[in-house]
Amino acid sequence: MKFPAKGAFNVYDKTFRNAKGKVPWAFRIDTPHKGAPTHHININPKISGVPDPHIPISSAQFSAAKFAGKVLDKANRIALPVAVAIDIGRLGLATYEDYKNGTIRNVVETCASIAGGYGGGYGGAVAGATIGTAIFPGPGTFGGAIVGGIAVDLVDLLVPKN
- Measured between alpha carbons, how far is residue 118 from residues 1, 78, 88, 111, 127 in Å? 21, 16, 14, 11, 14
- Measured between alpha carbons, how far is residue 72 from residues 3, 66, 81 in Å? 12, 10, 15
| Prediction pTM value | 0.59
- Going residue by residue through the chain (162 aa), what tens digit of pLDDT does each one get? 554 545 667 877 776 677 888 887 878 888 888 888 889 888 888 766 777 778 888 888 888 888 888 888 888 789 889 989 999 999 999 999 999 999 999 999 999 989 988 888 888 888 888 888 788 777 787 888 888 888 887 777 777 665
Signed CA dihedral, 26, 30, 34, 38: sign only: positive
